[in-house]
Amino acid sequence: MPIELHLIRASEFIRLDPDEHIDFEASKRVLQDLAYACRKRGIDRAMVDIRNMPVPDQPRFTPSQLAALVGAFREAGFTRQQRLAILYKHDVYGGIRNFTFFSKLRGLQVQAFHEFETAFYWLAEEQSSELKQATEVPILKSDARKQQEDLVDRVHRPPAPRLARRTKGNYER
């Protein structure tokens, strides 16, 4: 079975500011443009190769920035019918794991790999019927999450134990 794949190297989307720091907004726009170009050409499989990126002294992106990158893919039309493989060597700060986790929470098929061949075979696999029927996991805002937790606590809370009371030498319940 033939497969059409777009390979995105880190140098294609990582943008630096004049001080050699990552320009998050510019990198996000370029990554979104690449995702949009894949969708426009009908390419449903892409691989982001960040193996040659040096390990930084501190994380490149915050968790909220990683979530914004996932949002950029979704805004570009990336859906659960597409697959994105991330090829990497090191994940010292967990950014790649977080990106794949956030992607899966949003219903996307994103997986991280150390080896090109394993990533390629995953991209070439047919989608299982289970994945086709997968639903997006909702992300609740903090107030809504608190209200939901309170409701669950009230519904599933066991009844309070009744304390024994002493009356005239006897205990009654």
CA distances from residue 105 to 35, 86, 98, 108, 132 in whole angstroms, order as listed: 19, 17, 10, 7, 15
Closest CA to 45 of 129, 127, 132: 127
Residue identified by tokens 């805004």 is 75
Cα separation of 16 and 20, whole Å? 5
Tell how far CA 161 is from the center of its chain: 43
Helices 63-75 and 24-41: crossing angle in degrees, nearest 10, is 30
At residue 129, does pLDDT exceed 50? Answer: no
Tell me the per-residue pLDDT of 66-92, one tens digit each, with 9 for 90 and over. Answer: 899 888 888 888 888 889 899 998 888
Residue 149, pLDDT > 80, answer no
pLDDT at 1 over 60: no
- d(CA 96, CA 90) in angstroms, rounded, equals 9
Three-state secondary structure of 121-171: HHHHCCCCHHHHCCCCCCCCCHHHHHHHHHHHHHHHCCCCCCCCEEECCEE
Q: Over the stretch 29-59, which tens digit does the pLDDT of each residue have?
A: 887 887 788 888 888 888 888 888 777 777 8
Total residues found in the chain within this entry: 173
Domain ranges of the chain: 5-136
Query: What average pLDDT does the segment 163-170 reach?
Result: 59
Q: Taking the domain 5-136, which CATH number applies?
A: 3.30.750
| Per-residue pLDDT, 132 | 46
Predicted TM-score (pTM) of this structure: 0.64
The whole-number pLDDT of residue 158 equals 57
DSSP 22-36: B-HHHHHHHHHHHHH
Q: What is the pLDDT of residue 115?
A: 93
Q: Are 111 and 120 in contact (CB under 8 A)?
A: no
Condensed to tens digits (0 to 9), the pLDDT of residues 94-122 reads 888 999 999 999 889 999 999 999 999 99
